[in-house]
Amino acid sequence: MTEGNFVDYVKMHVNSGKGGAGSAHLRREKFVAKGGPDGGDGGRGGHIIARANPQLWTLLHLKFKRHIKAGHGANGGKQTSTGADGEDIYLEVPLGTVIKDTDTDEVIGEITDTEKEIIIAEGGKGGLGNDHFKSATNQTPRYAQPGLPGVERNITMELKVLADVGLVGFPNAGKSTLLSVITAAKPKIADYEFTTLKPNLGIVQYRDFKTFVIADIPGIIEGAAEGKGLGYRFLRHIERNSTLLFMIPADADDIGEQYRILLHELEKYNPEMLDKDRLIAITKSDMLDAELKAELTEELDKSLPLPYIFISSVAQQGLTELKDKLWEMLNKPTEKEI
């Protein structure tokens, strides 16, 4: 699938089905001129339901579905027969989809499990037939309940990709190059800023057939949390990553300052981002000779509060060490396991 087909944000109007009306039928048979009430209940209206589909990774298939309507419940019939329920409409979405009410911004639910289903709009309840209203003092009720109307609402679906490691860095920091080297992903790579316009996922093959997933998002610039550059739109894709890999090129004017700017943008977007495990990768380190690397190491030991690794995706330097460190961070024991 091409980059342009990656859709992670859709809006639509959904309308569940209305319930069927109950029947006010009175039993009429041969030799029974005035039978009692035998009206059945109306069927419920159809639901609008979001359902996980692990085969999907984008919301492209919903991009042009602006109005979704479920079926109406059928009316009740004679002999206390219940009307058929309205047809439910299932919206299949990829794992990581958040569903919100567009008008109130309330989160309706999140699809994070393959078995998960969320009723976005409940169908209207069917009306009761007149059989329910008979009594000793009212033996032939000639009325029944109407069905309840369905639910109308505007919804927004946002996809937050599910990955173990999120790549964070300024534009042209080498994120896409790293992804292309240590995974089978083929992101667009070029020597200019904002080459990556959509998130890319790649699976890293580790030792003994173990794997983990890396997400590359478009580059962050200072002020991204206020909407500058590509803004905060793609920052949500690293909200669910357990580990963040900050990528800063070796030729940056001030590596420590770049790290602090990136961290500040994440904090402004969502302070909980600071709770994630972090590692710094100094990219393009093949440009450094031994003397320059030694000088830079001495400087970084003083200015960086995190562990860091020198890597070069092009020269294949430090990549095994990087994968080892990421695997160790992803699989460190929790407090409950200790």
Domains detected in the chain: 1-159 (2.70.210.12), 165-330 (3.40.50.300)
Residue 240: per-residue pLDDT:
76
The pLDDT value given to residue 103 = 94
Q: Per residue in 128-155, pLDDT tens?
A: 999 999 988 888 898 999 999 999 999 9
Angle of helix 255-269 relative to helix 290-303, nearest 10 degrees? Answer: 40
pLDDT of residue 145: 94
pLDDT, residue 225, reads 45
Question: Please, which residues have CB within 8 angstroms of residue 51's CB and are 6 or more apart in sequence?
Answer: 90, 91, 92, 93, 111, 116, 117
pLDDT at 223: 53
Q: Do 45 and 71 touch, CB atoms closer than 8 A?
A: yes
**SS3 state of residue 78:** coil
DSSP secondary structure of 133-194: G--SS-SS----PPPPP--EEEEEEEE----SEEEEESTTSSHHHHHHHHSS------SSTT
pLDDT at position 8: 80
pLDDT for the residue numbered 200 = 74
Note the pLDDT tens digit of each residue in 232-243: 566 777 777 889
In angstroms, the CA 68 to CA 61 distance is: 13
CA atoms within 13 A on the CB side of 81: 8
Residue 70 Cα distances to 67, 97, 122, 158, 303, angstroms: 10, 21, 10, 22, 59
Q: What is the pTM of this model?
A: 0.70
What pLDDT sits at residue 28?
83
pLDDT beneath 50, residues of the chain: 1-3, 187-196, 224-226, 229-231, 336-338
Q: Are 53 and 63 in contact (CB under 8 A)?
A: no
